[in-house]
Chains A and B, each alone.
Chain A
């Protein structure tokens, strides 16, 4: 299991999460469950930092789209930050960048090859 999810509650309407590792068929359900623990109060603001995500595929996109829908249903705002150009590209080619708030990082993040 190579995913880390750290959720910090700044106050009840501001959550900052830091996600690291690989998001794939095995780890996506773990991420989905962690995110489902967040109490989605009206007008909540959630920032998820993905700087340390070294791999992601459509299973990860599925989790973020699902979570985006839940946050939006609560009139809240979801922000994905720190995306590497590789990660950003996935949101670009799927058109999700038009819908969701995606903030890429400027620096190139070298992806490591460890499992």
Chain B
């Protein structure tokens, strides 16, 4: 049995579908027990990546699709957003994404573009892959903050 459940969402690369994908991700995150605040973080981070993919497709005048792959583990959720509209083999693509370098991602940070910065802040891990478009890979763990809080509460 695979260690995770995989859900793939495909939406037209149009702004009106960002909220649809966001709500689906919210539902999936709720499924594996993220806190209310973590779900809000996931919604924003995923929306940023999807918005970027939509704008990318718009700029190139493409009638494309955005593919959002979600891997649901017991303790974490991985989300992969690709702007080239092709389905991917989640594990294969995941192996290809690497850490991003700030200078190379200038095009990602578009007008008013705090997008990547927010993704970085709100998620535990972020990777970006350039090949046939941009693929953003991000991870959030369930209950990381709670663990930190518990550690702080241990009397010294």
| A residues at B contact (CB < 8 Å) | 2, 22, 24-26, 29, 55, 57-59, 61-63, 65-66, 86, 90, 93-94, 111, 113, 115
**Per a CB cutoff under 8 Å, which of A24, A59, A111, A115 touches B112?**
A59
Residues of B within 8 A of A26 (CB): 15-16, 18-19
Residues of A within 8 A of B43 (CB): 55
Residues of B within 8 A of A58 (CB): 48, 51, 112-115, 117-118
Question: What is the count of residue pairs linking A and B with beta-carbon distances less than 8 angstroms?
Answer: 63
- How far does the Cβ of A85 sit from chain B's closest Cβ, in whole Å? 9
Q: Given A58-B115, A58-B118, A62-B111, do A24 and B51 touch, yes or no (CB 8 Å)? A: yes
- How far does the Cβ of B93 sit from chain A's closest Cβ, in whole Å? 24
Contact A25 B15 (CB under 8 A): yes
Q: Assess whether B47 is interfacial by the CB under 8 Å rule.
A: yes
Closest to A1 in B: B16
Contact B19 A113 (CB under 8 A): no
Contact B114 A61 (CB under 8 A): yes
- How far does the Cβ of A18 sit from chain B's closest Cβ, in whole Å? 21
Closest to B116 in A: A58
Closest to B30 in A: A113
